[in-house]
Chain A
Amino acid sequence: MLMVQLACPRCGFVIEQYGAAQLEADTQKQKRYQYLRKKQTLCPSCLSQTAKLEERRVEVEAGPQAELMAEAEAPPEAVPAGEAVAPTPLCDELERGPWPSHVTELKQTRYHMQMYEEGLRQKRTQWGFGGYTSIPGVASGILMRASARPDIAKGANLVRAFCPSGTFYSTQTFRALCDVADRHGYGILHLHATTCDIEVLGVPKEELRATVDELVAAGLDVGSTGDAYRNCQECIGPLRCEMVLVDSVAMRQAYFTRFLDDVQYPRFPHKIKFKLSGCPNDCTRSQQKGDIAIVGVFRDPPTIDAARLEGWVAGGGDIAHIVRMCPTRAMEWDGRRLAIDADGCVRCMYCINKCPAVRPGGDRGVAVLAGGKMRGKYGPLQPFVIAPFVPAVPPDFTEVFDLCAKITDVYDEHARRKERLGDFIYRTGIDQFCRLVGVPSAPQQMVSPRINPFYHWTPEELQASRKEAD
């Protein structure tokens, strides 16, 4: 059948291929294809960065996947555990002290300790070029990295998998994960990377596909690399938290049901990290790192159980301190009665966290914020409020995810290559961004309305005044 192949211009390795007919019919695949044609790709075979993948149209017979990286360099060898190794005085020093040591962990595996020792000795990384890449059949979930010290190691690759919801593991799943790391990797686990993905480090190139398949068999699908939706990191929510306002865990499951293709087939201008906290305590730090942050909120004021409060105070609960620490001074305590001024309260969760007699209101939904990131072009940005209240209705959370999809559609269409969502919003202006996404304006989107008088009017708005004048 006729296949469309995309190959590395330097070494000729076919990175991805599609049935020509399939490509014509499937818009998701077309987007992925356009992405590969136009944006940077790291070739998994020669580890060179290119924006000029070559397209080939070839007739191929239906059959097994092409031989993986047949022309590649030899796979990185792992140091068998227990063999005599060169001295590592700096690493040894990091085994001293009471806190559990990462060196102790690494030494029990096939990781090349000299890479780390030399790094510490030279005060410089010994690792070379690499990055997220895709291999035939696995569009995301793999990072490859060469070594700058081929005398010690050739390189080290990792496979990244999604954690289960709540980051709970049965020991059966956990053991299966250990088995994969032992069989294909160094025997070291990363529990977890900071977007809450599992990583298995030390997988040779020709074992990447097998590692992926075995993780999937253990119930752990791979992805969360590259210019895609990443793992949605949620809070523990209804699994064990009394503060949770919306079902954060069900929402995260629904995210994967709806957006799995967007997670596993990178096609966006840059990465998109979703973080989902069930309440304003924001245990997932979504209001700091989320390209899209979803935070459970409530609109009506907190409720007070007077009888419970009396008991709590009698038992030593310091309500006076809580009242004093309310960030907007919305609370009053006269020694017998607690009152919360509904207008002053900003629903920050402080009093609710500290006193069991105060509970959140019942009018609950989520706020959707966008644009958080650490670096990008303008540095750390907190995400901006796009929609202060969206219903969060299980099982599909349609309103929330429709809004998220709209945000990323606008991003996909208008942003530059490798421009983070937050940088795009900064460059566009929050007013224009919200117009493009199609959300109504609300005071909750502003610290204050604008100061300058430099805002735009459409010809239609002006025409209305001209008509009146006539």
Chain B
Amino acid sequence: MPGIGVAPMEANLPPIVRRNYGAWVWHEVIRPGVLKHVSKSGEACFTVRAGMPPNARVSTALARRICEVANRFCGGYLRITRRHSLELVGVAEAELGAAIAALREIGLAVGGADRTFHNIVCCTGWIHCQFAATDAPAIAKAISDGLWEDFQSEGYPAKLKISIAACVNQCGEGSTADIGVIGIHRDLPRVNDAEVAKCEVPLIVSICPTGAIRPKPPKSVQVDPRRCIHCVACVGQCVGMPIGDPETDGVAIYVGGKAGNQGSGPAFGKLAIPYLPNRPPRWPEVVQAVTGIIGVWTKGARRDERIGDWISRIGWERFFDKTGLPVSDKHLDGYVLWPMAARTGVRFRW
């Protein structure tokens, strides 16, 4: 094993960051996508943030063009954020306009900081994944196209993070976001006896989280439809357990996830819409549903209220009422941790 670990950090840090390490005192977003940090010494560091292609897929051609921009405006350094936006850190104040234009020239828009729509985090989907029930990058592209102007301005009550996972493994972490899209399979894996016979049955049986899989002699398995939660765990154990089904796969929409401790505190998203069909290439129903929820939130939330905070204040009754989304038994939790979501007491809103 190579075993060098991570390189000493100085190797990749711009001088302005090294000079002011641990000495920052305040920051502001001075225009959409542009942050100004000030250090104890009085030095100001300007960061220009730009949205990146869905699933953070960057050709080496674009990457090299980004290097040219970084060389020109940042002395040869660049950064990727925790939502996979590009950041040019240490741009001279007088060159901000030129940097924004240069990024625009290579197809990247500047924005996505503070009270606006942030760069979408999404997984690989059908580009390269065997589990994907939907295509996260295409949905990300469709939603981002619609929010292109919003991304470059700052008019929301608070930041809006949208994340898209193509399956319940959630590499695309839909549950963590203000609005999450999660790809779902809705039917059982289709057991292929000949293929399963080549695999190790005990692995398939033991991986199932609900015990839905039992051996089927002589050398196959059977899946109990009352227990299967379509979680793709068995799919990862044997090629004889395919689950992708173009007729029944689709997505669910979750709302209210956030990590910060402000407002109502860190929480996962809760189910808003149990199922929308896959409709490549642009998933219009999904885009419409997401845009609709954003519209209701921007109208009703107080300044600094993330979607989860807003729903905490107004209550779920009001949320479903204002969005017009129907409620069904799918919204009621019946899985292991359901008491956490079931209401006791009669403090209702009507």
- Chain A residues with Cβ under 8 A from B176's Cβ? 285, 288-289
CB <8 Å contact, B58 and A249: no
A162 touches B268 (CB 8 A): no
Query: Shortest Cβ distance from B22 into chain A, in angstroms?
Result: 4
Q: Are A102 and B304 in contact (CB under 8 A)?
A: no
B121 smallest CB distance to A (angstroms): 6
A165 is an interface residue with CB less than 8 A from chain B: yes
Chain A neighbourhood of B175, CB < 8 A = 288, 374, 380
Q: A residues 229-259 with Cβ under 8 Å of B? A: 233, 235, 238-242, 244, 247, 249, 252-253, 256-257
Answer whether residue A445 sits at the interface, using C-beta atoms and an 8 A cutoff. no
In chain B, residues 33-88, which have Cβ atoms closer than 8 Å to a Cβ of chain A? Answer: 37, 45, 47, 51-64, 66-67, 70-71, 76-82, 84
User: Judging by beta carbons under 8 Å apart, are A102 and B57 in contact?
Assistant: yes
B323 within 8 A of A: no
Chain B residues bordering chain A, tally (CB within 8 A): 122
Q: Is A145 an interface residue (CB 8 A)?
A: yes
Instruction: Tell me which of A167, A235, A247, A379 contacts B337 (CB under 8 A).
Output: A379
8 pairs from A and B in contact (CB 8 Å cutoff): A120-B281, A219-B7, A222-B2, A285-B82, A321-B303, A350-B263, A379-B336, A382-B266
User: In this complex, which of B12, B246, B265 has the most chain A Cβ atoms within 10 angstroms of its Cβ?
Assistant: B12
Contact of B1 with A265 in the complex, beta carbons under 8 Å = yes
Q: Which of the segments B217-225, B236-244, B291-299 contacts the partner chain?
A: B236-244
In the assembled complex, B128 has its CB within 8 A of some CB on chain A? yes
**Contact between chains at B123 and A194 (CB < 8 Å):** yes
Known contacts A116-B127, A170-B77, A378-B337; A216 and B2 CB within 8 A of each other: yes
Q: A418 to B238: give the CA distance in the assembly, Å.
A: 15
B48 → chain A, closest Cβ, in Å?
13
What is the minimal beta-carbon distance from B18 to any residue of chain A, in angstroms?
9
Partner of A181, one of B60, B66, B148: B60
B81 to chain A, nearest CB (A): 7
Q: Using Cβ atoms and an 8 Å threshold, which residues of chain B touch A51?
A: 200, 202-203
Are B128 and A101 within 8 A (Cβ)? no
| Interface contacts beyond A102-B53, A174-B66, A194-B171: sample of 12 additional A-B pairs, CB < 8 Å, sorted by A | A48-B198, A99-B144, A104-B59, A115-B126, A129-B239, A165-B9, A168-B89, A187-B59, A188-B58, A191-B58, A282-B260, A327-B265
Say if the beta carbon of B350 comes within 8 Å of chain A: no
- With a cutoff of 8 Å between Cβ atoms, the chain A residues found around residue B179 in the complex are none
Interfacial chain A residues near B231, Cβ < 8 Å? 375
| A167 and B79 form a contact (CB under 8 A) | yes
Give the number of residue pairs across the A-B interface with Cβ within 8 Å. 365
B42 to chain A, nearest CB (A): 14
* Contact for B200 among A49, A240, A379, CB less than 8 A: A49
Chain A residues, Cβ within 8 Å of B172: 194
The interface residues of chain B lying within 8 Å CB-to-CB of A249 are 9
- The reply to whether the CB of A67 lies closer than 8 angstroms to some CB of chain B is no
B262 A219 Cβ-Cβ under 8 A:
no
Query: Which residue among B9, B57, B109, B246 has the maximum number of chain A CB atoms within 10 Å of its CB?
Result: B57
Contact B60 A109, beta carbon cutoff 8 Å: yes
Pairwise interchain contact A380-B268, C-beta atoms closer than 8 A? yes
Considering only residues 115-166 of chain A, those with a C-beta below 8 Å from chain B are 115-116, 119-131, 137-139, 145, 148, 156, 158, 162-166
Q: By the criterion CB–CB under 8 Å, are A171 and B77 in contact?
A: yes
A165 and B6 form a contact (CB under 8 A)? yes
Partner of B59, one of A90, A108, A281: A108
Smallest Cβ distance from A30 to chain B, in angstroms?
16
Task: List chain A residues, Cβ under 8 A from B22.
Answer: 238, 244, 247
- Residue B170 is within 8 A (CB to CB) of chain A in the complex: yes
CA distance A20 to B221 in the complex (A): 39
Chain A residues, CB < 8 A from B89:
168, 240
Distance (Å) between the CB of B262 and the closest chain A CB?
A: 4
Contact A125 B131 (CB under 8 A): yes
- Chain A residue with the shortest CB-CB distance to B80: A167
Check B82 against A235 for contact (C-beta < 8 Å): yes
Nearest 3 A-B pairs (CB), nearest first?
A119-B126, A97-B145, A123-B246
Known contacts A108-B61, A119-B126, A216-B2; is A100 also within 8 Å of B262 by CB? no
A354 within 8 A of B: yes
Answer yes or no: A349 CB below 8 A from chain B CBs. Answer: yes
Determine which residue in A116, A164, A288 has the highest number of CB atoms from chain B within 10 A of its CB, and name it. Answer: A288
One of B94-102, B134-142, B314-322, B324-332 contacting the partner: B134-142
- Report A-chain residues with C-beta under 8 Å of the C-beta of B14: 168
Decide if A256 touches B5 in the complex (CB within 8 Å): yes
**Chain A CB within 10 Å, residue with most, of B11, B132, B260:** B260
